[in-house]
Amino acid sequence: MNRTRRFVLATALTVALAAPAIAHHGWGSYDASKPVTIAGQIKHTTFQYPHVHVMIDHQGNTWEITLAPPSRMEARRAVLAVVKEGNTMAAYGYASTARPHEMRAERITVDGKTYEMR
């Protein structure tokens, strides 16, 4: 393999491995000093990477709740059937300081069962 081809291959591999890290975000925009609990019926679920998201109507507002990645959800048995549309869910976590009515959940409770997200 010549030097140019190795360089191109190494560059492509580096970019491919770095892409998920670049797309992922930190948790600095959530206020951990003021935990909140949001409860209501799940209106919409997105069960995909990098995180599962659910939309819940709570006190006249639609909240977007960021959950764990799908692999962690499945490891904790919080599969799609648990967070499906129509189920009632309570989420405990931290509200976003950047986006109104958005939070990241530390734990959720569905049908009396609690699932840890972290």
Q: What is the 3-state secondary structure (H, E, C) of 18-39?
A: HHHHHHCCCCCCEEEEEEEEEE
Question: What does the pLDDT profile of the chain (118 residues) look like in tens digits?
Answer: 676 666 545 444 444 444 444 444 455 689 999 999 999 999 999 999 999 999 999 999 999 999 999 999 999 999 999 999 999 999 999 999 999 999 999 999 999 999 999 8
How far, in Å, CA of 96 to CA of 107, rounded?
16
pTM for the full model? 0.75
Q: 3: buried, middle or exposed (CB in 10 Å: 19+, 13-18, 0-12)?
A: exposed
Domain boundaries, given as residue ranges, for the chain: 27-116
Q: Which CATH architecture has domain 27-116?
A: Beta Barrel (2.40)
Which DSSP letter does residue 13 get?
H
